[in-house]
């Protein structure tokens, strides 16, 4: 065999070896609740038929924020004008007038960012979504309970809200608030404090009540902010909607006939299959590599 032929064989072997070790490097993979590989377009068709889509994100996950924008764009493409609403945990109810003005283009970026208390990662992670909504005349709804009220409950239980004036009550879910301590998410929170959610006094119970206030308030304003035929895409931390509790549980109380779909973003070391602990965490599970870049 000639020298040129030997060199060609070596080059081909190196190329094949490189291909075998490199393979595909997806930024994410999509699975059904049961752990079956899912198709994005099929998922999107289901989301477009839902009344509410709860996108459970990891707040610092860049893939989640990119995918939220893609879902918003594609829902707008599939729905009729006026049939998409964007809801966001990231803005509290007392700044809703500012959110609404920004979405209609009547409030400048600098004024909005100065007054609306955006999260520290707003510029990279949420501003593109708000600008997309503004450019396409999509209503935007801030759904979260104002932080001072949640903090008051965490310190002193739901009783801290008993004497709130009507103007403040209007920023929250209907009071008095019932809390189902048997919801999986709330039971997990109790376990973090080393006690039972119903009997572990003070700390655990108060914090669960504060979480419930947020979940219920988001559910209340999600339900109140959409009209018949609209799909409300809501962005929230995955813990608020995983396992169909949290926001979903309160939506089932406030509007049991709503068609709700959930997504959850999780991280895994491998993307070939869904880890057992992630099965049934949501209707669709977005799996992101554990070493994916974070926004903070």
Distance, in Å, from the CA atom of 43 to the CA atom of 38, rounded to the nearest integer, reads 7
> CA dihedral in degrees (247, 251, 254, 258; nearest 10)?
160
Distance, in Å, from the CA atom of 79 to the CA atom of 243, rounded to the nearest integer, reads 27
Are 53 and 222 in contact, with CB atoms under 8 Å apart?
A: no
* Strand order across the beta sheet in which 284-289 lies: 29-32, 284-289, 260-268, 52-57, 231-237, 84-92, 140-144
Q: Where are the alpha helices (DSSP H) in the chain?
A: 3-22, 40-49, 62-78, 96-104, 109-115, 122-125, 127-135, 147-156, 166-169, 184-192, 203-224, 247-254
Distance, in Å, from the CA atom of 260 to the CA atom of 232, rounded to the nearest integer, reads 10
Distance, in Å, from the CA atom of 241 to the CA atom of 264, rounded to the nearest integer, reads 8
Per-residue pLDDT, 37? 97
Token pair, residue 41, equals 């377009």
Per-residue pLDDT, 4? 54
Distance, in Å, from the CA atom of 61 to the CA atom of 226, rounded to the nearest integer, reads 27
Domains with residue ranges and CATH for the chain: 29-289 (3.40.50.11550)
pTM score, whole prediction: 0.90
Distance, in Å, from the CA atom of 141 to the CA atom of 176, rounded to the nearest integer, reads 23
Per-residue pLDDT, 1? 58
- Using CA atoms, how far residue 72 sits from 61, 80, 96, in Å, is 17, 13, 20
Token pair, residue 210, equals 């504060």
pLDDT digit of tens for each residue in the chain (296 aa)? 565 555 655 444 544 444 444 578 899 999 999 999 999 999 999 999 999 999 999 999 999 999 999 999 999 999 999 999 999 999 999 999 999 999 999 999 999 999 999 999 999 999 999 999 999 999 999 999 999 999 999 999 999 999 999 999 999 999 999 999 999 999 999 998 876 545 444 579 999 999 999 999 999 999 999 999 999 999 999 999 999 999 999 999 999 999 999 999 999 999 999 999 999 999 999 999 999 999 99
Per-residue pLDDT, 150? 97
Token pair, residue 290, equals 């554990």
Token pair, residue 107, equals 């409030």
- What count of other Cβ atoms lies within 10 Å of the Cβ of residue 29? 19
Distance, in Å, from the CA atom of 33 to the CA atom of 168, rounded to the nearest integer, reads 39
**How far out from the chain centre does Cα 158 lie?**
25
Strand, helix or coil for residue 138: coil
Per-residue pLDDT, 20? 45
- What count of other Cβ atoms lies within 10 Å of the Cβ of residue 7? 10
Per-residue pLDDT, 17? 46
């Amino acid at each position: 065999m000639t020298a040129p032929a030997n060199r060609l064989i070596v080059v081909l072997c190196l190329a094949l070896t490189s291909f075998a070790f490199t393979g595909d490097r997806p930024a994410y993979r999509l699975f059904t609740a049961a752990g079956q590989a899912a198709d994005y377009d099929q998922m999107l068709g289901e989301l477009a038929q839902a009344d509410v889509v709860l996108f459970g994100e990891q707040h610092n996950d860049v893939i989640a924020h990119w995918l939220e924008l893609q879902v918003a764009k594609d829902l707008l493409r599939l729905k009729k004008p006026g049939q998409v609403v964007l809801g966001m945990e990231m803005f509290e109810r007392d700044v809703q007038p500012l959110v609404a003005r920004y979405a209609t283009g009547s409030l400048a970026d600098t004024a909005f960012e100065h007054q609306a208390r955006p999260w520290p990662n707003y510029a990279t992670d949420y501003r593109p979504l708000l600008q997309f909504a503004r450019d396409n005349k999509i209503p935007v709804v801030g759904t979260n309970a104002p932080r001072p009220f949640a903090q008051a409950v965490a310190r002193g239980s739901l009783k801290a809200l008993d004497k709130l004036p009507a103007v403040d009550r209007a920023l929250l879910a209907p009071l008095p608030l019932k809390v189902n301590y048997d919801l999986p998410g709330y039971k997990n929170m109790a376990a973090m404090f080393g006690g039972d959610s119903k009997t572990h006094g003070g700390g655990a119970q108060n914090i669960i009540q504060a979480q419930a206030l947020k979940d219920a308030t988001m559910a209340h304003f999600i339900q109140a902010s959409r009209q018949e035929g609209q799909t409300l895409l809501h962005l929230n931390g995955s813990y608020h909607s995983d396992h169909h509790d949290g926001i979903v549980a309160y939506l089932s109380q406030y509007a049991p006939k709503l068609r709700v779909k959930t997504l959850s973003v999780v991280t895994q070391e491998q993307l070939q299959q869904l880890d057992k602990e992630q099965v049934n965490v949501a209707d669709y599970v977005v799996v992101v590599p554990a070493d994916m870049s974070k926004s903070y």
